Homo-oligomer: A and B are copies of this chain.
Amino acid sequence: MAETARTEHRYGNRPTMKDVAARAGVGLKTVSRVVNGEPGVTPDTERRVQEAIEALGFRRNDSARVLRKGRTASIGLVLEDLADPFYGPLSRAVEEVARAHGALLINGSSAEDPDREQELVLALCARRVDGLVVIPAGDDHRYLEPELKAGVATVFVDRPAGRIDADVVLSDNFGGARDGVAHLIAHGHRRIGFIGDQPRIHTAVERLRGYHAAMSEAGLPVHDSWVSLGSTAPERVRTAAEAILSGPEPVTAIFAGNNRVTVTVVRILADLERPVALVGFDDFELADLLRPAVTVIAQDAAQLGRTAAERLFHRLDGAPDTARRIELNTRLIPRGSGELPPAN
């Protein structure tokens, strides 16, 4: 009892079930039974084993367990940037679902780099995660084919998979953008700018498509110079915005293609004298406290994550199913900036 644990291990080595068994004077398998709460162990034996576990500070090695059992009880999440506030709620939602299914979450940021995405995904597969939730950076996911065939459940979120048949959970980017632009039109705007993310990115293209749809449905022409797709770096957005706002036919309203663009545009408009209307895709914290408060097309990031993760575990729980495309609605939240009338 007061006897201290003495081990013969090299430093850094951890006690194994074998060590526990030796100390408790029982067989290896009995320790395994105790550790896993399997039946068929006398209370007395169990107590001895528990004491040995306690004394040695034993902790089951899940790597070995995984090797034996085949399942890792962990899922991987690959997204663009952990630090982006849009992905916070999403990953949290995925984590909650994973937790509810007793799984851990391993995640990484692709930094919007397809090679890095692939590297990460394959590293996760090598770890034998049971499933993957991927917000794709690249547009060709054929490299995943062997993994899918091998049974790694995979769900894509926010953007569809490229050249491969897989589940995907999306927001209605087209419809959301169309609604947002239509909202500006309804408030009298005729010249509306669009500043979006890189054309490589599916959401950017879809939202641009929504913009064009709204304009054309209203019979409004679109001047090439009103549209700008590219990096969301503040400098790039600033340049684009300044061009759009100062050309021969300056716009009276801007539709911002995502939260980062919106924030930069807000900064720019704050320094401007004439009011320019603004609707942004993605809601963001404090949007309601700005003056004017920012009208947005909100998508429910947490719901995206939750839906994807649930779909994932649904697959893991057996139900083999054909790939499905789930699209979530967006919601227009009028707050002021999108209701400003045009100022010529």
Contact = CB atoms under 8 A, between A and B. Distances in A.
Contacts of A81: 92
Count this chain's copies in the assembly: 2
A122 B82 contact: no
A109 B92 contact: yes
Contacts of A72: 63
A1 interface: no
A83 B74 contact: no
Contacts of A104: 106, 108, 123-124, 127
Most B C-beta atoms less than 10 A away, residue of A57, A83, A286, A302: A83
Interface in A51-71: 56-64, 66-67
Interface stretch (A40-48, A147-155, A334-342): A147-155
B74 A82 contact: no
Interface string A77-104: 0000111110111011001000100001
Given A106-B104, A106-B106, A126-B62, A285 B85 contact: yes
Nearest to A86: B88
A233 interface: no
Which 8 pairs between the two chains have the least Cβ-Cβ distance?
A57-B146, A12-B151, A83-B88, A83-B92, A62-B126, A14-B150, A82-B92, A63-B66
Contacts of A87: 88
A182 interface: no
Interface string A9-22: 00111100000000
B84 A88 contact: yes
A270 interface: yes
A34 to B, nearest CB: 15
B289 A147 contact: no
B105 A106 contact: yes
A140 B106 CA distance: 26
Contacts of A59: 122, 125-126, 146-147, 150
Given A57-B145, A267-B289, 7 more contacts: A57-B147, A59-B146, A59-B147, A95-B109, A105-B106, A106-B107, A266-B289
